[in-house]
């Protein structure tokens, strides 16, 4: 079965390819591969582009040794460091996102997990934001317990984010202070508490294309439907600061293969895409990207929101309308 037949089958059934079939995609001509993935995207994925924004709700002093991260206390990146932000700051950022027409607002905090006191304080803030701002709320606060997951859901959080970051066979070379199994347990605890789950990874950290497929199949097994696709932006002061930039053709191949494996997922452009050419960004949207984090990332600049919206519309997606002010 060639890749065109594979694409037709996935588009018709909504069922992703097998591992053996995915291996064929690694050597397929890129133009054909992207065209086929586009066919699957149009048939299986939402045509309403899913947008979210993030706020760095607590920055720096993280005890984890993740090699890519500027917020790790083991690394030497120069960043702003501060404790959990207050309610007014969250309200302001959430309302700003709502006015721009962004559908979801995510609070991201540094550290292995929030303490019990921090969870209680955050829940108080989330309740206020949920009451006052018409926007869906997401949280990424590390390896929270089942009890904490229930608390944040009751406060107004509807989705929990915890990136697996890389394939289990590669993750241990990037971080030694927690494991893929810890992250999977966190995602399961979130789901058991009634939260939607969001999980993806970072490409370009020295992993192979096969390991990106390994990650995608694990996400499929876990039933993840919101999949952030980060592209490593090497940060000075981190162990990956000299990692070569992943080529744009390889980024497109990865996105296309993700779509073959995860036909109906929201493949979400996240960190690192600001360096990409206009041509590559548009090709990525047509190939499989149907969601994005808008604006700045945690410690790096993101893409311009107005430019992003124009590109998304040109790729044929619908967008949530900005709020009237």
Q: Are 121 and 155 in contact (CB under 8 A)?
A: no
- Please give the Cα distance from 207 to 223 (Å, whole number): 23
Concatenated DSSP letters of 44-107: HS-SB-EEEEEEEEEBS-B----TT-TTBTTS------B-PPPHHHHHHHHHHHHHTT--EEEE
Residue whose C-alpha is closest to residue 248's, from 203, 298, 293, 297:
203
Q: Which residue has the tokens 């990424």?
A: 140
Mean pLDDT, the chain, rounded, equals 92
Answer yes or no: is 324 within a domain.
Answer: no
Q: How many Cα neighbours within 13 Å face the side chain of 65?
A: 11
Q: Confidence class of residue 323 from pLDDT cuts 50, 70 and 90?
A: low
Give the percent of the chain with pLDDT over 70.
Answer: 95
* Confidence at residue 85, expressed as pLDDT on a 0 to 100 scale: 94
* Confidence at residue 297, expressed as pLDDT on a 0 to 100 scale: 47
Chain segment 72-124, per-residue pLDDT in tens: 878 777 677 888 999 999 999 999 999 888 999 999 998 899 999 999 999 99
Average pLDDT score over residue span 263-271: 96
The domain that contains 118 carries what CATH number?
A: 3.20.20.70
Chain segment 26-45, per-residue pLDDT in tens: 999 999 999 999 999 999 99
Stated as kind and residue range, the H or E segment containing 270 is: none
Answer yes or no: is 304 within a domain.
Answer: yes
Answer yes or no: is 108 within a domain.
Answer: yes
Work out how many domains the chain is built from and give that number. Answer: 1
Q: Which of 36-40, 48-52, 63-67 has the lowest mean pLDDT?
A: 63-67
Q: Confidence class of residue 70 from pLDDT cuts 50, 70 and 90?
A: confident
* Confidence at residue 78, expressed as pLDDT on a 0 to 100 scale: 63
Structural domain that includes position 248: 3-314
Answer yes or no: is 323 within a domain.
Answer: no
Of the two residues 137 and 310, the one the predictor is more confident about is 137
SS3 label, residue 114: coil
Answer yes or no: is 236 within a domain.
Answer: yes
Longest dimension (CA), the chain: 57
- At residue 299, does pLDDT exceed 70? no
Q: Which residue has the tokens 């999977």?
A: 184
Answer yes or no: is 322 within a domain.
Answer: no
Chain segment 214-260, per-residue pLDDT in tens: 999 999 999 999 999 999 999 899 999 999 999 999 999 999 999 99
Residue whose C-alpha is closest to residue 286's, from 267, 306, 272, 262:
267
Which structure tokens are listed for 171?
A: 């993750």
Answer yes or no: is 319 within a domain.
Answer: no
Chain segment 129-154, per-residue pLDDT in tens: 999 999 999 999 999 999 999 999 99
The answer, as to whether pTM is greater than 0.85, is yes
Residue whose C-alpha is closest to residue 260's, from 91, 32, 49, 36:
36
């Amino acid at each position: 079965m060639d890749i065109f037949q594979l694409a037709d089958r996935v588009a018709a059934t909504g069922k992703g390819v097998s591992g053996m079939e995915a291996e064929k995609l690694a050597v397929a001509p890129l133009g054909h591969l992207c065209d086929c993935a586009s066919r699957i995207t149009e048939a299986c994925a939402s045509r309403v582009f899913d947008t979210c924004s993030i706020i760095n709700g607590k920055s720096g002093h993280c005890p984890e040794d993740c090699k890519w991260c500027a917020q790790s206390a083991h690394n030497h990146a120069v960043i702003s460091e501060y404790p959990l932000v207050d309610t007014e700051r969250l309200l302001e950022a959430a309302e700003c996102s709502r006015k721009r027409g962004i559908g979801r607002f995510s609070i991201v905090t540094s550290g292995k997990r929030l303490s019990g006191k921090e969870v209680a304080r955050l829940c108080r803030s989330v309740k206020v934001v949920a009451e006052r701002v018409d926007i869906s709320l997401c949280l990424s606060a590390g390896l929270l317990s089942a009890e904490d997951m229930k608390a944040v859901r009751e406060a107004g959080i509807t989705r929990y984010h915890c990136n697996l970051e890389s394939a289990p066979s590669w993750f241990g070379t990037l971080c030694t202070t927690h494991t893929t199994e810890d992250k999977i347990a966190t995602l399961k605890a979130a789901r058991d508490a009634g939260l939607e789950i969001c999980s993806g990874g970072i490409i370009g950290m020295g992993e192979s294309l096969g390991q990106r497929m390994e990650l995608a199949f694990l996400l499929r097994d876990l039933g993840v439907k919101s999949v952030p696709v980060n592209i490593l932006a090497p940060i000075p002061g981190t162990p990956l600061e000299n990692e070569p930039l992943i080529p744009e053709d390889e980024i497109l191949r990865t996105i296309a293969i993700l779509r073959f494996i995860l036909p109906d997922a929201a493949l979400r452009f996240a960190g690192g895409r600001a360096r990409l050419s206009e041509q590559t960004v548009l090709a990525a949207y047509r190939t499989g990207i149907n969601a994005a984090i808008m604006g700045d990332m945690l410690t790096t600049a993101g893409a311009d929101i107005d430019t992003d919206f124009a590109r998304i519309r040109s790729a044929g997606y619908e967008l949530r309308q900005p709020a009237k002010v």
